[in-house]
Amino acid sequence: MSSSTPSRSCATSSAKPRLRLVQPYERSIGSLAVELAPTMGYKLVPWQEQLAHDIGAVDASGKWVHPRVGISIPRQQGKSVDIIVWVAVMAALAGYKVLWTEHNYSTTMEMVDRFRKIFGRRVGDTSEGIPRWRKLLVEVCSQTGQEWMRFSSGGVIQFSTRTKSSRLGFSFDIVIYDEAQELTGIHTQVINPTTTSGAKHNLMIVYAGTPTRAGNPAEVFKNLRRQAWEGGEKASDLLWLEYGVEEVGDIWDESRWPEVMPSLGYHADIRAIRTGMKDMDELGAAQEYLGYWLPPQNQVEKPIIGSDAWGECLVESGPELNADCRICAGVRFSADGSTVAVACAVRPPGSPTVHVELPFCKDPEPSTDWLAYWIAARAGRYACVAIDGKAGAGALCDKLEGMGMPKDYILRPSTDQAVTAASLISSGAKAGSVTHIACPALDLSAETSPKRKIGSGGGWGFGGDNAAPIEAAGLALLALNTSKRKPGMKARVT
């Protein structure tokens, strides 16, 4: 699709976090930030209000429930707004000393200017700032590279561009790492120790950014995300909020945007998003504007099945087909819609193994009519066809319904069934209960496809660019194990 012709106009956001890791809490002072945001010129939208409550969660002793906060939000969604409001309240009213860090000095000064719009540029200057907040400012420093503000509460906001030897003038209670995708271990080694003697003895470190870019050596944000996704003891003090797509897909399909852009329809600038994406490659745009995280390297190196297990399942030819063989098919559209794979699974009577083959793996454009006719023609021979993939499954199933296919012939797998399908082909290959003939597309898929998360219940499936063929084989096995349909035609299958 051309980047100059959006597929349709965007609707108001329906985005749900891809991951929201929150520790249990009963009390929060985040409501204060939500209440005061409009007095600073900001109106928090629903996801920002919830984030404010999560950040402000406190335990019975008044300590932060989440001393570490990670926020991965696509660009143009206002991720800095929550933090600006939170920092203003903590420094100007609660007396916390806050360090706000950026990767570049130009961004640092942009953030300084945003706080000046709240507190003014200097003490007693009425030309800038908001009166109720401006009166709390008691001292400022505008020296290049050492900008800070001090308040009547005793709180401080210092702004710093991250370097290997950042010059910092205070001990801090709260550290903000904006542009966290650029943060390196050298930076945290210099900055984090400044929190060890914070006067409040109530440390909070906030990491806010977009996904770490391909080839970027910065690993701090990526490692924090890994802790969030893995859970366990390392994540027991962590708040993690992430919005984004699982696959790059069609970045110009604007019907996807409301699902991952939480401020769409509120204050997100649609024209700025469209314009910004035009000068980027697809991967870069997916990371910056759709929140796509690159798969971990170890997933690429560790396929679910692998060449050894798949090689053990190789046979020279499939079973002799007869009227008693039970046959099903699986159809999988790849996440980006560029491929549709069709696999067949055959269980001969009394056989301990199931044989799978891949008759098709091709581009579904310009139409999948051929596939609909292929499936319809086999309704009298095949017990079931499982069809999955957001890119084309719905349209194909609608067409088949219009062709009068029996309801129990077509299966649209649920999330749990998709997880089962992946497990069936994986465990079957490793146990030797699945056979296959040589097929380059299916072999590559089985030997290289890594694990990816499915749904929110800890399920998994196949990931990577070549996953569709092995996913189709899994769907065929799912249909074979699930369907109770007995086709009426008793004829030899070819």
pLDDT digits (tens, 9 = 90+) for 142-190: 888 788 999 999 999 999 888 655 556 678 999 999 999 988 777 787 7
Q: Where are the domains of the chain?
A: 19-242, 302-482
| Alpha carbons 392 and 412: distance in angstroms, whole number | 12
Are β-strands 204-209 and 340-347 bridged in parallel, bridged antiparallel, or unpaired? unpaired
Percentage of residues in the chain having pLDDT higher than 90:
61
Token pair, residue 245, equals 């797509």
| Alpha carbons 392 and 411: distance in angstroms, whole number | 14
Question: Which region among 72-86, 249-263, 298-312, 463-477 has the lowest average model confidence (pLDDT)?
Answer: 298-312
Token pair, residue 201, equals 């003895």
Residue 5 pLDDT greater than 70, yes or no: no
Intrachain domains 19-242 and 302-482 with the same fold? no
Third-level CATH fold of 19-242: Rossmann fold (3.40.50)
Nearest to 37 by CA among 160, 130, 151, 172: 130
Cβ atoms 82, 51 nearer than 8 A: yes
Q: SS3 sequence, 412-462?
A: CCCHHHHHHHHHHHHHHHHHCCEEECCCHHHHHHHHHCCEEEECCCCEEEE
Q: Within 10 A of 263 (CB to CB), how many other CB atoms are there?
A: 23
Per-residue pLDDT tens for 444-459? Answer: 889 888 888 887 677 8
| Alpha carbons 371 and 328: distance in angstroms, whole number | 15
Token pair, residue 486, equals 């007995």
Beta bridge partners of 89: none
Q: Within 10 A of 416 (CB to CB), how many other CB atoms are there?
A: 12
Q: Within 10 A of 423 (CB to CB), how many other CB atoms are there?
A: 17
Per-residue pLDDT tens for 41-57? Answer: 999 999 999 999 999 99
Q: Tell the residue number behind the tokens 């194909």, with chain if given.
A: 396
Cβ atoms 389, 469 nearer than 8 A: no
* Interacting residues of 204 by C-beta distance below 8 A, sequence separation 6+: 55, 64, 66, 67, 68, 69, 173, 174, 175
Instruction: State how far the alpha carbon of 100 is from the alpha carbons of 111, 135, 156, 180, in Å.
Output: 9, 22, 10, 12
Alpha helix stretches (DSSP H) within 93-219? 105-119, 131-134, 185-191
Question: What is the CATH code of the structural domain delimited by 302-482?
Answer: 3.30.420.240
